[in-house]
Structure 1
Amino acid sequence: MSDSPIVIVGALADPHAAAVFEGVRARGCEPVVLDAQRFPEDLPIALGEAPGDIVIEGRRIGRPAAVYVRSLYQSPAAYGVDADEAMKEDWRRTTLAFRERSTLLSAILLRWEAQGAAFYNPSSNGHNITKPYQLALLQAAGLPVPATLWSNDPAAVRRFCDVHGAVVYKPVAGGAATRKVEAKDLTDERLDKLRAAPVCFQELLPGDDVRVYVIDGRVVCALRIVTDAIDFRQHEQRIDPIALDDAVARECVRAAEIIGLRYTGMDIKADRHGRYKILELNPSAMFLGFEARAGVDIRGPLCDALVAHRAQRGA
């Protein structure tokens, strides 16, 4: 087998990882799967001190041609803990075990990245999943982003809402629906809940929701999501392919370059003047649902991009 494989980081039980796996195989390459959900219980891994000394299930993996990172499944709350009563009860042991697990898996990806493997997407590029840093980088580069405040300070939140009027709020790291700020949300009792965790507040953008897929500096497709909800997720009435204005397409490509993503599904949304602003760039964007609803091909260009790096390595 080639010593420059395509590596898929993620469990084949994940439909997106499985789809990329099958897509790469259909192109004549047998990918290596680093199944993060099997480690450490059922996946033997050995790392030596040399950068290339990485053995997974008895196979020494050299420098990969390309790596598709679906997930390292690093959150104890999200992956597997509910099924294990002992892990649920002993949160300290669970947290430490996940830290050890994540540290070793991250070290593998960092080594491959340092060796020059093409990553979809970089493991060490922390700001690709840190939304406050993402938007700061984009704003500093002159790209259009919504007015945003991340805060646990009630006074700052009230000032922001006074300035911008219609405002929405959502978790800093995602994972829950976006909601509109109402008068009841600005009471002392409600804002006192910020003591538990900070929240993202953002100007309300009333225009179209659009998902844009960018792969290797090219817009693969743009999809308008028709919805009556503030947060389109699970409220999509229709998803239609659209052609982006050239200037908007260039902004999307530039945004991916600035954040350092070879592959992304980015969310943009129009303000009341029809001007698109960038909400976020997803580093491991899901695509199967969008393909099915809109009749577009995203997996194909992604798999083509991965396999192209193997060809460049002469494998």
Structure 2
Amino acid sequence: MAVIGTGKMGADHVRRLHEVISGARVAAVADIEPERAKSLAATIEECTAYTEPAAAMASQEVDAVLVASPGPAHEAALVEALDRGLPVLCEKPMTPDTASSLRILEAEQRLGRRRIQVGFMRRYDVEYAKLKGLLDGGELGRALMLHQRHRNLAMPPGFTDEMLITSSVSHEVDATRWLLDEEIAAVTVHKPRATSLAPDGMNDPQFVLLETVSGALVDVEIFGHCGYGYQVQAEAVCERGTVRIGDEQGLRVSVEGRWGGHVPPDYVERFEDAYDREVQAWVDATRRGEVTGPSAWDGYAASAVCEAGVVSQRQGGRVEVELVERPDLYR
């Protein structure tokens, strides 16, 4: 394995591959910050640090690539991997905009086979998988509405209004497409009054309304500075019942006149098991010569919805999502 990007997510994946996942080893890491890459590589036997993704992928020791660098750097890394025929697990967003996502689709189609899996890890979360199974089973009838909440303790410095959509709501976009098994036709972004905990200039929280092609309505509350922890919830309202996931689990403690439990501080802890399942499934499929998870089409479709969301965020009103015809490779 080569891991591209050794920041928070990349370092966590290196740890995961080294300590948790079977069937793969980290042979190379790459980062534009040489010392960070060298420091991480030093924790793993026979792992080489690089500053250029292309150099890491050129290593004779590398058979597959995990891309965890910032979104704007993904296109170049994906093109390099496709040129070398290497299977790739790419963290979301696949690319930051639809134009670059379309270029990736075209490059993969020229290759004639799927090589890219996009890192929408919620599909591997136990609760999300149970929700998907229940909706697919038909016991509750058609899903009419989907309520989703995505709350963060706080966003890192430099986080923008646009990133609330492209970096955060993108997860709900993919979850919607996957759970309801249809595309999203339009997006409307509403901005309630901002919390005093948000930095100046950020409209936080925001309320996003998604409309699917069949007419189901999906609302997403994105709250980047809720102040108490990381929380993700979803509730499907169906013809014959409702189902909700994301309620806090684990220990419930009563002490000193209070009762309560633990709210995780971030996505790394909340979705640790989902990341483990995702990467293990990808490694297993790669060893079989297959690609089974979210495809480059899923990455493109999410980018298109988020792009429409950013337009609505800036200009107001309902914005329709424009998608190209789905290529046969992704049917």
**TM-score class, shorter:** 0.3 to 0.5
Highest Rg: 1 or 2?
A: 1
TM-score normalized with structure 1 length: 0.35
TM-score normalized with structure 2 length: 0.34
